[in-house]
Amino acid sequence: MNASRSTSRRQFLASSSLAVAGVSLAGSLHIGRSAHAAGSEVIKVALIGAGGRGTGAVAQLMNADANLKLIAVADAFAENATRAVDRLRKQAEQQVDVPQERVFSGLRAHEDALATDAQLVVLATPPGFRPLHYQAAIKAGKHVFMEKPCCVDAPGYRSLMETNKLADEKNLLVGVGLQRRHEPPYIETIQRLRDGVIGDIQFLRVYWNGSGIWNRPRQPGMTEMQYQVHNWYHFCWLSGDNIGEQHIHNLDVGNWVMGDEHPIEANGMGGCTARYLDQNKGTGQIFDHHFVEFTFGSGTKMYSQCRHIKDCYNDVKEFAHGTKGMMRCDGVVEGERVRRAQGKPAKVNGHQQEQIDLVAALRAGKRYNEGYYGANSSMTSVLGRLATYSGQVVKWDDAVAGNASDFPKELSWDAEPPVKKDADGNYPIPVPGIFRVS
């Protein structure tokens, strides 16, 4: 993530035609005058979820359009909201108009941010909150950019799909942080794959294997709810596990190659062998490795790996295998068996380009809704996680119909936490063969 203004908007726009006419714009129908900001009008933005990714997304929005102004920031933790305002002021003080009365905190801070006159909101809280915040934003008449994953369970997925329809009805624009969709190497290569450059697709391989992520210690005086939200990656109800929080990027590429279909079933295996040993004991509950075999309606398979264990094989890539050969999905050559996409694709920062494309669509009054593939790719990760947690073959339709959700009924720091420690001081980790899909 690069929030620097050193690369100008002109440079980014010149590097890709996406901003005005490319693949990422979801159609060419003009929307109502009230739904877009024409010419030099200021676009007012509110940030909900002021961590590194949320702050970075706003920085990139400001890079994309000098007439965009941040007017409100909300976060569960007051210090995060204040820190984000300070960081963004240092980048572009003239684009930040956030007095103290528009810095909001708490588990219901999104309501205050949505009550402002912001036209566009950035949703970058822990993913478990995304369906709630997305629905509230669209009902409030706001355009939305939301980070991935967009849901962590079936009820969240169903909510997303209903909100996507409402966004269409209200002519509101929706961007999703699956930035590979905005990078020319992926766009060019996947179009060639769809055009049959390697014949019929036989199977896909997708990877997000790395050494791991942060684990935040409990701070003195924290309630259990505060701790879980603070250390959100390590709780499934908040992050969706690493198969959702990070590996979704690769799963989304697989779905994209398959014409934006989603798998119809999955089986897999996984577990937690290293993540919560030693100093991290009793700090979370998610797996540190997953392997999933997804099956699409055509019978095509997608073989998926993600892992967070040090000193192991690391890779973050996607490959397509066809009847005529193999290709890496971003067009990069890796040996003689991989065919290179024609020409040299422009190098683009996908995080930046997705904001350029969203703002360009808003300025032009274009229809633009990435919420549908965002929801389906998020649910693909949920399907895979249910398969690895249970050790069973899980059907898409069964998973989508499920009602299992740990999202708390009460949003309060003093509320009963959705996950509790056992008698030994450890959080429950799913056990294949015992865990049941519901």
Looking at residue 438, what is its pLDDT? 85
Q: Which two tokens mark 329?
A: 């999905």
* 419-431: pLDDT as tens digits: 999 999 999 999 9
How many other C-beta atoms are found inside a 10 Å radius of the C-beta of residue 302? 27
Burial (0-12, 13-18, 19+ Cβ within 10 Å), 100: exposed
Question: What CATH class does 9-180+350-369 carry?
Answer: alpha beta
Amino acid symbol at 195:
D
Angle made by CA atoms 225, 156, 172, in degrees to the nearest 5: 115
CA dihedral (255, 256, 260, 261) positive or negative: negative
Looking at residue 344, what is its pLDDT? 55
Looking at residue 320, what is its pLDDT? 97
Four-CA torsion 67, 83, 102, 2, nearest 10 degrees: 20
Closest CA to 268 of 233, 287, 294: 294
> d(Cα 53, Cα 134) in Å, to the nearest integer?
17
Closest CA to 201 of 100, 273, 301: 301
Looking at residue 223, what is its pLDDT? 97
User: In a 3-state reduction of DSSP, which class is residue 36?
Assistant: coil
Burial (0-12, 13-18, 19+ Cβ within 10 Å), 344: exposed
Closest CA to 64 of 16, 97, 108, 102: 16
**Which residue's entry shows tokens 């190659």?**
257
Amino acid symbol at 261:
E
Looking at residue 347, what is its pLDDT? 74
Question: What's the residue count for the chain?
Answer: 438
Q: Report pTM.
A: 0.90
**Range(s) within the chain of domains with CATH label 3.40.50.720:** 9-180+350-369
Which of the residues in the chain have pLDDT under 50?
Answer: 1-36, 38, 335-341
Does residue 370 contact residue 177 with C-beta atoms inside 8 Å?
no
Crossing angle of helices 350-364 and 52-64, in 10° steps, is: 50
Going across the sheet that includes 174-176, the strands are: 103-105, 68-75, 43-48, 120-123, 143-146, 174-176
Four-CA torsion 326, 16, 351, 197, nearest 10 degrees: -10
**Range(s) within the chain of domains with CATH label 3.30.360.10:** 196-341+377-401
What CATH number has the domain spanning 196-341+377-401?
3.30.360.10
